[in-house]
Amino acid sequence: MEKSILIAVGGNSLIRAGQRGTSAEQQSNARLTAERIAELALLYRKLIVTHGNGPQVGAQLLRSEIGSGQTYTIPLDVCVAMTQGEIGFSLLSALQSVLAKKGIHRPVVSLLTLVVVDKNDPAFLKPTKPVGPFYSKKTAEHKRSQLGWSIIEDAARGYRRVVASPLPIDILELQTIRECLEREIILIAAGGGGIPVVCEGSEIQGIEAVIDKDRASALLASKLGIEHFFISTEVPEVYMNYRRPDQKPIRNATLKEMQQMLAANYFADGSMKPKIEAAIDFLSAGGKTVTITDPDHMIESLHGSAGTVIVRS
């Protein structure tokens, strides 16, 4: 099989620390991301890009709430679809420009992607994923009673809505994605973990949830038979006991070693743990290599001089 890679870009890569997240800032950051992806286009014939959307979904929910007195409100699954289009456009236009400048003649496509979840997933009984803005206690209680939201308290910042984060079980556009890769089309897909849907017979229905981007990316890579799963994050490498006095970098590891470290609780919930779980999913399903690093060390990590590299055996 030809060399193939799926790169999962973090949603925060388009809105950097200290930025307001303006369209101009996101376009500029998309250009930097595109520069690095273009280098991968020289190395891999089959290249697929997924991305996060946390800050962008939060902004869409806030716009919907503020404008609710004058226009229709937007459910979470539709917000995910909207941000797939928004971020897909930013990455698509930036990547097309960079490829043309470098003389690389490969088409790029951004695809709205529906990811199937189980409506009986236990995650729906205990929502844990924070979304949207922070509220005062009074406003949060009103939202809880009027809209049936699940609410958690962040002692430092206020109260926030939480939603379910079910496991992805299938990807409806899989065959279309496969055909694009066979034609060596660079594909942007499964943004934000995919638009969450449930299927009953021939009926497809969106559902309010947030699918973990890296778990959905691992599923997509596995189903496509991708060899290399690349997770772009905020740190240059994975650490055991991150930000503790005994933190230790992990440069190279096997699937079995990562499974042992995960079982020993060396990785924090909501931080590196979901990425390690996604890496384990991918390698357990037959993938060859997982690389985890930040955008600045992307190319170096492919040559073994940076990042964390995890192999099946």
Which position among 46, 191, 213, 287 bears the catalytic label? Answer: 213
Residue 143 is a catalytic residue: no
- In the chain, the amino acid numbered 286 is G
**Catalytic annotation on 46?**
no
Per residue of the chain (313 residues), give pLDDT as tens. 359 999 999 876 788 777 888 888 989 989 999 999 999 999 999 999 999 998 899 999 999 989 988 999 999 999 999 999 999 999 999 999 999 999 999 999 999 999 999 999 999 999 999 998 889 999 999 989 988 899 999 777 899 999 999 999 999 999 999 999 999 999 999 999 999 999 998 999 999 999 999 999 999 999 999 999 999 998 999 999 898 888 999 999 999 999 999 999 999 887 899 999 999 999 999 999 999 999 889 989 988 889 999 999 8
Task: Give me 16's structure tokens.
Answer: 């950097």
Task: Tell me how far apart the alpha carbons of residues 163 and 145 are, in angstroms, rounded to a whole number.
Answer: 16
- pTM, full prediction: 0.94
Cβ of 157: how many Cβ atoms within 10 Å? 10
Q: What are phi and psi of 239, to 5 degrees?
A: -120, 140
> In DSSP terms, which residues pair with 150 in a beta bridge?
162
How far is Cα 290 from Cα 182, in angstroms, rounded to an integer?
22
Nearest to 163 by CA among 251, 46, 57, 292: 57
Query: What ranges do the domains of the chain cover?
Result: 1-116+171-232, 236-288+296-313
**53 counts as catalytic:** no
Which are the contacts of 40, defined by CB distance < 8 A and separation ≥ 6? 5, 7, 47, 298, 302
Q: Could you say which architecture CATH assigns to the domain 1-116+171-232?
A: 3-Layer(aba) Sandwich (3.40)
Nearest in space to 198 (alpha carbons), one of 115, 93, 103, 301? 115
Contact 255, 29 (CB under 8 A): no
67 is catalytic: no
Q: Which of 58, 275, 287, 307 is catalytic?
A: 275
Chain CA centroid to CA 216, Å: 8
Active-site residue (options: 10, 11, 58, 192): 11
Paired residues of 159 in beta bridges: 135, 153
The phi and psi torsions of 137 (rounded to 5 degrees) equal: -60, -40
Tell me, what's the pLDDT at 2?
56
How far does CA 250 lie from the centroid of its chain? 22
Burial class (CB in 10 A: 0-12, 13-18, 19+), 57: buried
Q: Residue 136 class from Cβ within 10 Å (0-12 exposed, 13-18 middle, 19+ buried)? A: exposed
- Residue of 129, 132, 143, 193 with catalytic role: 129
Count CA atoms within 13 Å of residue 221 on its CB side.
Answer: 36
126 in active site: no
